[in-house]
């Protein structure tokens, strides 16, 4: 997967820079070309000579180097790569990336690049969990910067916690997964999938709306898992704080009507997974001005929203081969899920218990049952990510046999 890939490795100033020589060695064993940019801080931990010897290339350090600029130029440096990998990514370089600073060669290359960027954070646990670092992380993830790690364990500062840079094999695996996805390899390569996720917001007036507590975690995880299996995924999502998964095309919407329109625009597709918690009702005649507080509270008249799952499942020439819905239930889970499958004409239903004690809404885990024409499979309680991976594997099996 890494054969002939060009990796611009940016080494920032953290103790984990001592893992970089081994990283370069392992990348080159896999056929990758590695070119290093070493920051001033990075050079405190690893020498340019070591990096040059192991990478078999010149090490770039100085933004204002006449020779480097005449031979290569920092813009070309950032473009002549398939990916930019920042390892270790310190709190400082993450902050600079998030705010677009460019005061040395590394940050200038990161700002000037049109190539994907991956970071392997490494820092003290308090620095990692600090709201400033977490906000920077979210900013970077929303800009589709890929993140590997950090892991938990003993830190160089003597403390224990999150902040250890991922080990070399994990970084290599993350790079391989990234290239696998971008090359559309995997059992679902060549298949198109549409996934809905998150809540919808139905306006009451210019400033108010009706919503629900859906976090979008499950739908986003399904989109990520399908992309990892090689599918070309369009994620149609209502407002959520979830970062955009790697390798997925995103359509952001607010209302159920917009969600349906975006799904229909993304057709044709072979696979549809409706994981969004679509509001069943919208406010009839919602206006564009703010409703003023009068003597009596206003009466809201609700009208039914389109059912996206049922619309996409209806027989027709564009009907995807496999349409999957979720059934969020508090009572009679299986019976209701079976009835929903029949009523909406979808192929599979992932039934999940969202009763108050289950922790499914907004939480990280889900206990689901897969309802198909063949019967009901009870899955154990799994992290939403694991539910998504298992579902994607089932979809891949279905595609192999039927599509
Ligand atoms: N769904 C949809 N469009 C809607 C309502 C629901 O696409 N307007 C989809 C959801 O994404 C989910 C499935 O239908 O895949 C079932 O959603 P759920 O909320 O469980 O069912 P409802 O049809 O809303 O029925 P109820 O709320 O009465 O259980």
Q: What is the pLDDT of residues 289-300, one digit of tens each?
A: 999 998 889 999
Residue of 274 and 247 predicted with greater confidence: 274
pLDDT at 392: 96
Whether the per-residue pLDDT at 84 is higher than 80: the answer is: yes
pLDDT in tens, 90-105: 999 999 999 999 999 9
Q: Residue 94: which H helix or E strand, with range?
A: helix 91-99
pLDDT at 221: 95
**Is 389 near ligand 1, meaning CB less than 6 Å away?**
no
- Do the Cβ atoms of 321 and 270 come closer than 8 Å? yes
Q: Average pLDDT, whole number, for the chain?
A: 92
Mean pLDDT of 259-269: 97
* % pLDDT > 90, the chain: 74
Of 57-66, 153-162, 383-392, which has the strongest mean pLDDT? 383-392
Mean pLDDT of 310-314: 98
The domains of the chain are located at: 6-181, 186-402
Do the two domains 6-181 and 186-402 of this chain adopt the same fold? yes
Q: How far is the CA of 350 from the centre of ligand 1 (A)?
A: 12
pLDDT at 284: 95
CA angle 323, 329, 334 (to 5 degrees): 70
User: Ligand 1 test: best mutation among 213, 325, 341, 368, most atoms within 8 Å of CB?
Assistant: 325
**Is 236 near ligand 1, meaning CB less than 6 Å away?**
no
pLDDT at 1: 78
pLDDT at 237: 98
**Is 312 near ligand 1, meaning CB less than 6 Å away?**
no
Whether the per-residue pLDDT at 363 is higher than 80: the answer is: no
Q: Is position 157 annotated as part of the catalytic site?
A: yes
pLDDT at 157: 73
3-state secondary structure of 283: strand
User: Ligand 1 test: best mutation among 271, 327, 347, 354, most atoms within 8 Å of CB?
Assistant: 327
pLDDT in tens, 122-142: 999 999 999 999 999 999 988
Query: Which residues have a Cβ under 8 Å from the Cβ of 386 and sit 6 or more positions away?
Result: none
* % pLDDT > 70, the chain: 99
| Residue 128, CB-side half-sphere exposure with 13 Å CA sphere | 19
Mean pLDDT lowest among 34-43, 67-76, 161-170, 247-256: 67-76
Domain range 6-181, CATH architecture: 3-Layer(aba) Sandwich (3.40)
Q: How far is the CA of 228 from the centre of ligand 1 (A)?
A: 26
| Active-site residue, selected from the candidate residues 157, 263, 274, 346 | 157
Ligand 1 atom closest to the CA of 256, numbered from 1 = 8
Q: How confident is the model at residue 161 (pLDDT cuts 50, 70, 90)?
A: confident
Residue that has been written with the tokens 């889900």 in this structure: 366
Domain range 186-402, CATH architecture: 3-Layer(aba) Sandwich (3.40)
pTM: 0.68
CA distances from 247 to 146, 182, 210, 273, 274 (A): 10, 7, 31, 17, 19
Whether the per-residue pLDDT at 23 is higher than 80: the answer is: yes
pLDDT at 201: 98
């Amino acid at each position: 997967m890494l054969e002939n890939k060009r990796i611009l490795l940016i080494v920032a100033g953290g103790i984990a820079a001592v893992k970089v020589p081994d990283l370069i060695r392992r990348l080159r064993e896999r056929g990758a070309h590695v070119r290093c940019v070493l920051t001033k801080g990075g050079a405190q931990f690893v020498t340019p000579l070591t990096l040059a010897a192991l990478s078999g290339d010149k090490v770039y350090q100085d933004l204002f180097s006449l020779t480097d600029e005449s031979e290569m130029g920092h813009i070309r440096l950032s473009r002549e790569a398939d990916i930019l990998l920042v390892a270790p990514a310190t709190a400082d370089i993450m902050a600079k990336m998030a705010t677009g600073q460019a005061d040395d060669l590394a940050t200038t290359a990161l700002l000037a690049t049109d190539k994907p960027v991956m970071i392997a954070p490494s820092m003290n646990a308090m620095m990692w969990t600090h709201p400033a670092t977490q906000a920077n992380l979210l900013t970077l993830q929303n800009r589709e910067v890929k993140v590997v790690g950090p892991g938990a364990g003993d830190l160089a500062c003597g403390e224990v916690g999150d902040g250890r840079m991922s080990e070399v094999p994990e970084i290599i695996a993350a790079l391989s997964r990234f290239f696998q996805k971008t090359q559309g390899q995997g059992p679902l390569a060549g298949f198109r999938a549409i996934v809905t996720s998150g809540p919808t917001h139905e306006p009451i007036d210019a400033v108010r709306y009706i919503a629900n507590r859906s976090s979008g975690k499950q739908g986003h995880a399904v989109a990520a898992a399908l992309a990892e299996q090689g599918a070309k995924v369009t994620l149609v999502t209502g407002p959520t704080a979830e970062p955009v998964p790697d390798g997925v095309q995103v359509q952001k919407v607010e209302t159920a009507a917009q969600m349906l329109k975006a799904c229909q625009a993304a057709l044709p597709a072979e696979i549809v997974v409706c994981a969004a918690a679509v509001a069943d009702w919208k406010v009839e005649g919602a206006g564009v001005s703010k409703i003023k507080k009068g003597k009596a509270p206003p009466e809201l008249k609700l009208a039914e929203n389109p059912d996206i799952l049922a619309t996409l499942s209806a027989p027709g020439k564009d009907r995807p081969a496999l349409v999957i819905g979720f059934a969020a239930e508090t009572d009679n889970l299986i019976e209701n899920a079976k009835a929903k499958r029949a009523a909406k004409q979808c192929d599979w239903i992932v039934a999940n218990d969202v009763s108050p004690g289950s922790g499914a809404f907004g939480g990280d885990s889900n206990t689901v049952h897969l309802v198909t024409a063949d019967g009901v499979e009870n899955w154990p309680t799994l992290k939403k990510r694991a539910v998504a991976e298992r579902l994607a594997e089932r979809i891949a099996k279905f595609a192999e046999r039927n599509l």
